Amino acid sequence: NAGVTQTPKFRVLKTGQSMTLLCAQDMNHEYMYWYRQDPGMGLRLIHYSVGEGTTAKGEVPDGYNVSRLKKQNFLLGLESAAPSQTSVYFCASSYPESFLDTEAFFGQGTRLTVV
């Protein structure tokens, strides 16, 4: 029962480097989300997707890009990492509301440090 799996779990980047965070879900969920969590800030939505091939901006999209080429995967990219992107990143997925009112299921998080 994998649920939502994030890769990697930890990463240290130098300023200006790029990386991709991978989120994979095996629950056939339509909707997927990327959040970042900073101390005292709760969870802030970066980007989300309502289906394969679609993406949309959340509250804090600047400096990030996303892709949803396959329904089960949602990738978050940082093209040129900055220290302000040091955070814990969470991926989540859920059913569409037309099917079932349900909660979002979360991955275990990726702790990213940009030095």
Give the binding site for other proteins (CB under 8 A): 31, 33, 35, 40-45, 48, 50, 56, 58, 90, 92, 94, 96-97, 101-109
Nearest-approach distance from CB 73 to other proteins, in angstroms: 18
Residue placing its CB nearer to other proteins in the complex, 11 or 105: 105
Please check whether residue 92 is in contact with residue 33, taking contact to mean a CB–CB distance below 8 angstroms.
yes
Residue placing its CB nearer to other proteins in the complex, 58 or 63: 58
Name residues whose C-beta falls within 8 Å of residue 100's C-beta, 6 or more positions apart in sequence. Answer: none
35: how many CB neighbours lie within 10 A of its CB?
A: 23
Nearest-approach distance from CB 44 to other proteins, in angstroms: 7
Residue placing its CB nearer to other proteins in the complex, 17 or 37: 37
Nearest-approach distance from CB 108 to other proteins, in angstroms: 5
Residue-level length of the chain: 115
**3-state secondary structure string across 47-108:** EEECCCCCCEECCCCCCCEEECCCCCEEEEEECCCCHHHCEEEEEEEECCCCCCCCCCEECC
Residue placing its CB nearer to other proteins in the complex, 87 or 94: 94
Nearest-approach distance from CB 109 to other proteins, in angstroms: 6
